[in-house]
Chain A
């Protein structure tokens, strides 16, 4: 048998298998969505023209735009500040600014109500509360806090990969002051990443559910996703079902209309063969008082947006009754006792089980697509997988319900399928990124050194890929663990996840128990995240000691 015959045959089979799986998970359900709107003769104009729907659509688009406009400067500013190696406590801030990502959307939204709403923490302590928190302004602000770390991540990677410190040094040595160098070189180079972050935030906000549901719905502020949730939770009414399906379809069309041109325009500009250097660099030394002020600004921002709300949430969960002052004398674990019932335990078990299965399957699936896309046949699958990133969860859930609900409605399997479809791109992107950064000569050297293809991967590639594989698993596991957008639409009797239990508890208006459940959900996410984060950090390749940041090339 000529060498290579079997792998190529196997690869073709795997490519076909991935294509079929993707078609079954995403393409077919979304097409079914369109087919239902078409065949059921939905009065699309009528549905979209009805005042409630029109308002929800307008709210959604305006909200997404407003969140994008506010999150971009915060995220870009954070990325620029954290790039300076001389920022006091930089390593701490790099982790701290990402913490909002670790807080489930629902918990973040709910914690803000416990901190700043009427009868919240600031009201109890200072007599101050923000009446607008429940409503569009509150939804907007909390979504901005939630989206800013994403902008930071995308822009920081873009800066690290494109804005080499020597480019800024060249500007400074050519007579540009720090502000001019920032404007004419640094930001100019980061522009594709900033634009990509903007598109991403806009599209993800279109599909966001938990925060509008917690902060907007009680005040009558509807978005497309909360409207779909309301339509489906009433159940039984065919007109409402058709409205939900039409809105789900609209959501994916708007997302696609934003993403397709952005991908065509920005995609080539974002590709970089240079490994991103997370160490951060400075073109020239900065002023210490400026750095100190920046660190203080970060501290204040995180204290108000994250630390205080989470502390207030914790206080609500241990304060015995509503209305009593949150002093230690009134503390107790009653709420935890009342919510940690066998039913909650089962939901928790289901959430963890689902998350483990989802993450493990997705690392395999994501890895396969990442490997297969290096051949021509696998590229279409990879592109489609990447596109699912912006497929709103609500749309996906409704689509899967229509496609497979007849057999799987209310089962954990349907939720699992939704997770696989929604999170595949997360696993694929991080593994593909690590594969791209793997120097091809290292594998060639292993082959030239006598290793077969599998031995070469095992002995040379696996170790540098380990952090990415573990990272992909972690991202999928955590996201699945607190996912509520899809599970709240797909669950049935006996298949509630913990996030669904928390959401239902909030809708019943049980403040203390909801706070206790939120704390449990947060810890469930945060504890494994921090442990695995630490492990990944230990696995990541070490750099040469003593040559940090800007010094790496200055030797």
Chain B
């Protein structure tokens, strides 16, 4: 018999004062799997995480953790009795506790003595290479350091499912990289499942086993990163996962989606360069073609000026359904 999923959400509905925030969301996360929740702000990502963590009561639907129902019907298991660890967007570190005591908090709640809890906490801080911060309070930590303490606190809970609520939203690019590397390494050795909410497509695609696209409280698509990138259900889903152009198919088969790397300059089709952006490792060209405007990505610095007439070749495309415009 296959093991119970780490998380199973069925037909979840949440409304705030009558305004729906989640509309019939169903999804499953396998043990050890990382699911990214990708959507713009206000799409319901945090609401979904809050419902899973037990911070709010959904108006309908159920949540099961490791096969046990924690939300459903009249049954609401409080957050402290759910097997989850949460990392918050705004870090949510307690201003009156040092990093060490913050990380020792979950062990204390499990009934460990102060010394035992602190020694466990110190081990986690060492694993995250932030043992030097043990005695500092949140006000004395940078954003990146605070979020690593937040991660350490979630690790100390030793849950089967981690919930990450846009943990890198307030971090600078380079700090974000350090945090994500740490997360990746912990994920390998903990073996726990995770739901990772983000509005950053690169983060979602790079981190997750599967990606769930969320918009206005509805699930648009769930699939592997490659699937949601290459085979989006509609244009909105496509744009959530990265830049995309829509042109008429060269064979006349209706509109098709073209990612920047799916076409290259040089070839039989004609175009005029309308704009060029140097992006470091590559350059993006906005090309005006008889089939529509097209974004093309080429390695290296720009080779064609604005106004140049160039040839191009379509390498790959994805047909858009009738619903997508």
Contacts and interface: CB of A to CB of B under 8 A. Distances in A.
- Note whether A and B form a binding pair: yes
Interface of A: 162, 164, 166-167, 169-178, 180-181, 184-185, 188-189, 283-285, 545-548, 550-551, 553-555
Nearest to A174: B106
Given A185-B94, A284-B79, A546 B19 contact: yes
B98 to A, nearest CB: 13
Contacts of B42: 555
B90 interface: yes
Interface string B18-41: 110100000000000000000001
Nearest to B49: A554
A85 to B, nearest CB: 10
Given A174-B109, A283-B55, A285-B76, 18 more contacts: A167-B93, A170-B150, A170-B153, A171-B94, A172-B78, A172-B79, A173-B80, A174-B80, A176-B109, A181-B80, A185-B94, A283-B79, A285-B54, A545-B17, A554-B46, A555-B21, A555-B42, A555-B47
Interface stretch (B81-89, B174-182, B227-235): B81-89
Contacts of B17: 545-546, 548
Contacts of B89: 553
11 contacts: A171-B94, A173-B163, A174-B156, A175-B110, A177-B78, A181-B80, A188-B96, A545-B17, A550-B55, A554-B55, A555-B47
Contacts of B144: none
A285 B153 contact: no
A175 B94 contact: no
B109 A173 contact: no
A178 B78 contact: yes
B46 A555 contact: yes
B193 to A, nearest CB: 16
B47 A169 contact: no
B137 interface: no
Nearest to A548: B17
Interface string B89-131: 1101111100000000110011000000000000000000000
Interface of B: 16-19, 21, 41-42, 44, 46-47, 50, 53-57, 76, 78-80, 82, 84-86, 88-90, 92-96, 105-106, 109-110, 150, 153-154, 156-157, 163
Given A172-B79, A173-B80, A553-B46, A546 B109 contact: no
Contact of B53 (A173, A180, A545): A173
A171 B85 CA distance: 10
A180 B108 CA distance: 11
A162 B106 contact: no
B266 to A, nearest CB: 46
B135 to A, nearest CB: 18
B80 A546 contact: no
Given A176-B109, A283-B55, A166 B88 contact: yes
Contacts of A167: 92-94
A169 B80 contact: no
Given A180-B109, A554-B47, A285 B57 contact: yes
Nearest to A546: B19
Which of A164, A170, A171, A555 neighbours the largest number of chain B CB atoms within 10 Å of its CB? A170
B323 to A, nearest CB: 25
A118 B91 CA distance: 59
A76 B115 CA distance: 32
Contacts of A550: 50, 55-56
Given A175-B109, A553-B46, A554-B55, A169 B78 contact: no
